[in-house]
Amino acid sequence: MFDINISELMVIGSVALIVIGPNKLPKIAKTLGYFMGRAQRYLHSIKSDIEREVELDEIRELKIEINNVTTNIKKDIVDEIEKLDDETRKKTFNT
């Protein structure tokens, strides 16, 4: 997420120790870690919701496509049956 190496973390920690003090630093670090964890869980939740919505949209599009294909197949079958029925009627009346 962030591009921070170990030496930068040591500098940040040293400055925080001097500015905040050794008594408050553990509590602040714990609180900061808690809020970072909540933020990560929240972002993960949002990402999961978006992925689910995308998958649902893809499924809806696939359903529409399948319905169109089945409708076309049904139409072709009905047309072929009518054509065959007409041919058999012509042959029946001609003989």
20 close to 28: Cβ distance less than 8 angstroms: yes
Mean of pLDDT over the chain: 90
pTM, two decimals, is 0.56
Average pLDDT over residues 58-65: 96
Q: So what's the pLDDT on residue 87? A: 86
Residue 73's nearest CA partner among 59, 85, 58, 81 is: 81
Q: So what's the pLDDT on residue 88? A: 86
Residues in the chain: 95
Q: So what's the pLDDT on residue 95? A: 60
Tell me: pLDDT of 1 over 70: no
Distance CA 34, CA 53 (A): 29
